[in-house]
Amino acid sequence: MAVHIRLSRHGTKKAPFYRIVVADHRSPRDGRFIENIGVFDPAGKFQIDRARLEHWTGKGATPSHTLGRLLKKNPAAPTPAAPTA
């Protein structure tokens, strides 16, 4: 199973935001995914869980071209805070 790390589009018309997801390459863009590891808002917000990104790339997952450009542009992007119980 080939796994990709890519963007999944959400939000409203003309006001999108994207979730960074790990998905099987056969799944549609906004369809089923394995894990949600971050969020990208073109208005300025970019958060990704670096530990999970390293975990999935270590297992052979490949980031999409667009996500690769975002990672180069934001090398020290903050990770989301851990939820409190």
CATH of the domain at 35: 3.30.1320.10
Instruction: Give the E-state strand segments of 25-84 in sequence order.
Output: 35-41, 45-48, 62-63
**Is residue 79, in this structure, part of any structural domain at all?**
no
**Is residue 28, in this structure, part of any structural domain at all?**
yes
C-beta contacts of 28-32 below 8 A and 24+ residues apart: none
Query: pLDDT band for position 77 (50/70/90)?
Result: low
Q: How many CB atoms lie within 10 A of CB 59?
A: 9
Residue 44 DSSP one-character state: T
Looking at the structure of the chain, the number of domains it has is 1
Residue 32 has pLDDT above 90, yes or no: no
Residue 44 has pLDDT above 60, yes or no: yes
What was the pLDDT predicted at 59?
92
pTM value?
Answer: 0.83
Query: Whose structure tokens read 């999108």?
Result: 16
Q: What average pLDDT score do residues 40-59 get?
A: 92
**Is residue 83, in this structure, part of any structural domain at all?**
no
